[in-house]
Structure 1
Amino acid sequence: MQPKNNQHFLITAIASFSFFFQVQAQGSYLAGDFHQHTTYTDGGYSFGHMMRKNAQFGLDWWANSEHGGGSSRWATVSGRDLGTTVNWGDVQGVTLQGIRDPEKPNDMWRWQVLRDFSFKDVQLYREVLPHKIILQGVEWNAPGYEHVNVCIIDNQFDSTNPNCNPVAEFEYKFDNGDLDISEPNGWIKSKKEGKEKTIEAIEWMQKNYPKTSWIVPTHPERSNRLKIEDIRNMNNAGPDVCFGFDSQPGHQKSKNRGGYRPTSYGATGDGANDGATWGGTGAFAAKIGGVWDALLSEGRSWWLFANSDCHGESSDFYPGEYQKTKIFVKEHSAQGVVDGLRSGNSYIVTGDLIDSLKFTVGTATMGETFQTKSNNVTIKIIVRDPDKNNHNTYSSLTNPVLDHIDIISGKVSGKISPQDPRYTQDEVSTTKVIARFGKKAHIDANGIKTQLWKDLGNGVKEITFTTNINSDVYFRLRGTHHTFDNKNSEIDQYGNPVLDVFEANDAAKAFEDLWFYSNPIFVNKIN
């Protein structure tokens, strides 16, 4: 009888996923990463090595996004993988353009690197890896803040003259580390300083490239310079281009997980128990009712992403090795990637804990708004926990099992005016876990009961949950393999991820602490 049961479960699972794919017939979820480094900046490996690693670890799309400012090495031929270092000052026939930095006279400005060298490497690896979507971006040193992922796809796929001049121009105009004032290509340098310059840059992007670019603050908690009012200002200045952050930072191998430090936002300051990430995610997104929820409670289209920030092997995983951002794309193209990121129809996952997710409220999916007159809405979730090994070569937990999923909800009260005292408030009290589904019954310290999901076999779990609403709300998900009945579990009695203590993390620990987070679905209650 067992084979028949297995067959029944398999058929049911296939049927459920067949329905899923019919609904998503006009596109698919693609895995990507848009923050990584080579020897063009402070990375340790050649450009080609990093491109091949993206493909090796299963990514469908990625962007080379390295620091603005200056560059000392030619990444085409420099890297630990090649055993060579070639500095720009040693390359015959290469003219360093612009007004030199007297402290680094042999460095090349990044605008020139992007325009004349890095983009040529991108073009080469598009030919080497023809089924991958490879983009040229930059990690912007945002004046008044720290680092921001930027990409503009215009011209990159031009049929007659492909180039990344818009990216190079942005770097020249607005990067805090670019001191050149030579006005290459007729580009005019911004005269503003500090945070005003950053807002000017976002407004420039919104005006010139509103549908073909992104501006996404990375490791936003690390420097503790980025406050919630800054995020609100950025989103107000460029709602079509500045629409999310990497509150799950890279550097997940680092002994201080995420590369965070005692001065980072959210750091507890508790001596030997200090830390600034929870389950690998920064306080902005890890804390229920924190910065991310405060933004969502305004109804802002502000999404959560994750990137490797890979520089090398000592503190970082390769792109796709540990973290993935999965976005829904309607077409397999650069424009499809930009549209997918902006849409919010995406989720992040570590250690390949899940490989498929369908999450809907009514007729809306992630990033969308469901309008209803009803006092009840139905949430449907279909998720797959793959029965195969992930990329963990550091410990024995190579095929983690999804234990439960939390449904998190908050009230939406509308945009807050910059003149409102609440504009600087970075917490909200109306967001909470409203339900939990898993493989084993449990009641947490808040009285939330773990309801049993429907196991369809083949790793597929199905959840249907109807809840009452009396105002505008949003819903989002998080899930983990951690169990409540393990005294060494990396969750607390409420189901929240526990603090990642400084100096205690490594690759094995990261691979034994896995999560996924969905982006939200909004519900507009029509009275």
Structure 2
Amino acid sequence: MRLLPLALVSSALLSPALLIVGTTAPAAPRRWLAGDAHVHSQWSPGYDRATSPPTYLRGADALYPTPKNAAMARAHGLSWMVTTDHGGPTHSRLNRDEAYPELLQSRTAVPDLLQFYGMELNMPAMDHHTLIVPRAADERDVLYEIESRFDAADAWPADPSRGTAAARQAALAFLASLPRLPLVFANHPSRSATGLRQYGLDEPAELRDNNTRAPQVYRGLEGGPGHQASGLARDGSPRRDASGALTGFRGGYSRPGAHTLGGFDQMTAIVGGLWDTMLAEGRRFWVVAASDSHVHFDETTRQGSDFWPGEFHKTYVLARKDYADVLEGLREGRVFTVAGDLISELSVTARAGRSMAGIGGTMKAKPGQAVEVAIAFRDPAGPNFGGRTPSVARIDVIVGDMTGPAADPTADRAPRTRVVARLTAKDWKCKGETCSLATRLPASPYSQYVRVRGTSTTDDEPAMDTAGENPWDDLWFYANPVFIDRGVIAPPAASATTAFRVPAHTHP
């Protein structure tokens, strides 16, 4: 891959709304809006199971009222968020009668924040999933029907049939039948894993099956899980147990050998891993990041593991500031995720002749035709909410060949995906906070996708996180891909035979 003259980057500095193939600039241009798709309120309760049925204990799991979450989200730079309380058929009445009225109050109290109604669905036979309901007059009733009929937890009396694969399939069929389609993302998908490529509650075959059954609904995974302050004590120092040993892992990924990698889930962080297999099949399957906020890490009433919405992780969506366009942006993959405000804007534009596309889009090229990629990003000059002023140390350009549907639904390796360039500050030019560069992809006869990631570190690959780690020392961003349609699918490559090697940290 060779770098191109900076003059060719000019298109990346235009309004991102102009970079979407087949559209014209809308009257109100789209811009990057930061948000959080996974926030809990006091309506994620605990239970007194000594009673029959169990008694809800408001605030026992997540602590804060929805207006408090909304105010903190806005204070930390967010334009939108989704309330995603834990649910179940019994809880559905609490959600309808108590939580929803509080959401309406919150929308009035913090009108400058788009506040979606949703929940953290206990997906039958799988782990937690974010469910986002489109904003409409019937949003309360739609969520009540979904939660009461399909959530796998909280039934009284217990109903084992709710936790089956058949129940999952029925839930997806119902979601896909709704006149206004919701969105679903798998949350912390490898938190139950026992090692790298040793998955737990969310298996590759299940992710594929869900996306196949409801491709416009089941749209991706939480690549950047919340609970990123799990290793911090209230004063921000490393958390220690009673014996003085370091404790607490980013994301709550506490199983040995299966921690997050640079704060991101292994399905996202490993090049040629599970996410790349989905993209190589041509699936529009996106990654988001979230706070999973329950209790802030400096809370005095009890020790928390979380940052406020927007304090550390942000999901940026290219959209106009209205509910419908933000939801469409999430569905169409006009999204990048970032930790610690490492960047606040990003443009990745692929071009061949007169065809071009930006993040989440698709462009056309002939076999062997050169594809130029322009990248521009904003590296904020001021401190982030950790009091740091990080800079982008490197950007990786990652390319994968399109290989079509996987013959093996359990596949989690994409051998034809690779890092084609590792670019540093010497490769880009900056004007104020905006930096830009351009490059040309290696010639290929095949349809491909290109995606970029960046980091504040000098780690070639994201290192596995350690107990008591300070997340502010290890920041990454991930952009969703641009697809390059050449009309030719690559032949399957030999399966990867070597294990992913986890590098050591090169930062404190």
Normalised to the residue count of structure 1, the TM-score between the two structures is 0.76
2:379 is the alignment partner of 1:385: yes
* Structure 1 residues 526 and 15: alpha-carbon distance in aligned structure 2, compared to 1, 3 A threshold: closer
Amino acid at match of 2:293: C
**Cα separation, 1, equivalents of 2:463 and 2:218:** 30
Paired position in structure 1 for 2:197: none
C-alpha contact (below 8 Å) 2:396/2:454 kept by paired residues: yes
User: Which of 73, 79, 83 is residue 64 of structure 1 equivalent to?
Assistant: 83
Residues 190, 197 of structure 1: 8 Å contact kept: no
The one-letter code sitting in structure 2 at the alignment partner of 1:238 is: A
Give the AA of the match of 2:102. D
Q: Following the alignment from structure 2 to structure 1, what is the Cα–Cα distance between the partners of residues 321 and 67?
A: 23
CA 1:289–1:65 in 2, change beyond 3 Å: closer, same or farther? same
1:472 matched to 2:441? The reply is no
Q: Distance in 1 between matches of 2:16 and 2:219?
A: 27
Deviations 1:124-174 (A, max 9, x none): 121122222111101111121110111222xx443xxx6511011100001
In structure 2, distance between residues paired with 1:374 and 1:142: 42
User: CA, structure 1 residues 332+342, in 2 after alignment: closer, same or farther (shift >3 Å)?
Assistant: same
- Once residues 18 and 226 of structure 1 are traced to their aligned partners in structure 2, the CA distance between those partners, rounded to angstroms, is 40
Mapping for residues 293-442 of structure 1, pairs under 5 Å: 293-313=276-296, 314-329=304-319, 331-362=320-351, 363-373=356-366, 375=368, 376-393=370-387, 398-416=388-406, 420=407, 422-440=408-426
Change beyond 3 A, Cα 1:380–1:36: same
- Residue 499 of structure 1 corresponds to 464
Letter in 2 for 1:379: V
Output aligned runs, 1:104-183, within 5 Å. Answer: 109-153=90-134, 156-158=135-137, 163-180=139-156
Contact (CA 8 Å) 1:351, 1:391: kept in 2 or not?
Answer: yes
Unpaired segments ≥5 residues, structure 2: 1-5, 45-60, 193-199, 231-247, 297-303, 489-508
Compute the displacement of 1:247 (Å).
2.2
Question: Take 1:14 and 1:425, find their aligned partners in 2: how far apart are those partners?
Answer: 39
Residue pair 2:188, 2:225 contacting (<8 A) in 1 also: yes
Which letter does structure 1 place at the counterpart of 2:254?
R
- Kept in 1, the 8 Å contact 2:12–2:375? The answer is no
Structure 1's 63 and 20: CA in aligned 2 closer, same or farther, altered over 3 A? Answer: closer
Q: Secondary structure at the match of 1:309?
A: coil
Correspondences of 1:448-487 after superposition (within 5 Å): 452-453=427-428, 455-467=429-441, 468-483=443-458
Q: Distance in 1 between matches of 2:139 and 2:275?
A: 36
Secondary structure at the residue paired with 1:119? helix
Tell me if structure 1 keeps the 8 A contact 2:19–2:357: no
| Cα distance change, pair 373–225 in 1 and its aligned pair in 2 (3 A) | same
Q: Secondary structure at the match of 2:125?
A: coil
Of 43, 51, 67 in structure 1, the residue corresponding to residue 62 of structure 2 is 43
Aligned to 1:31: 34
- 2:347 and 2:479 map into 1 onto residues whose CA distance is 10
For residues 174 and 16 of structure 2, the distance between their equivalents in structure 1, rounded to whole angstroms, comes to 39
Q: CA deviation at 1:423?
A: 1.6
Distance 1:379 1:14 in 2: 11
> What per-residue deviation string (whole Å, max 9, x for no partner) do you get for residues 171-199 of structure 1?
00011113158xxxxxxx99664122112
8 Å CA contact 2:223, 2:264 repeated in 1: yes
Where do 1:69-84 residues align within 5 Å? 69=88
Q: Report % sequence identity.
A: 30
In the alignment, the residues of structure 1 paired with residue 333 and residue 18 of structure 2 have an alpha-carbon distance, to the nearest angstrom, of 20
Q: Distance in 1 between matches of 2:292 and 2:444?
A: 40
Q: Which amino acid is the alignment partner of residue 404 of structure 1? A: R
Structure 1 CA distance for aligned equivalents of residues 183 and 142 of structure 2: 12
Matches of 2:373 and 2:439, distance apart in 1? 5
1:412-433, CA deviations, whole angstroms, 9 ceiling, x for partnerless residues? Answer: 11123xxx3x221211211110
- Summarize the Cα distance change of 1:54–1:240 in structure 2 as closer, same or farther, 3 Å threshold: same
SS in structure 1 opposite 2:228?
coil
The total of aligned residue pairs comes to 422
Structure of greater Rg: 1
**Runs of 5+ consecutive residues of structure 1 not aligned to the other structure:** 1-8, 71-108, 182-188, 269-274, 441-451, 484-490
Against the structure 1 CA distance between its residues 364 and 499, is the aligned structure 2 distance closer, same or farther, given a 3 Å change threshold? same
When the two chains are superposed, the root-mean-square deviation of aligned CA atoms in Å is 2.4
Local SS of the residue matching 2:86: coil
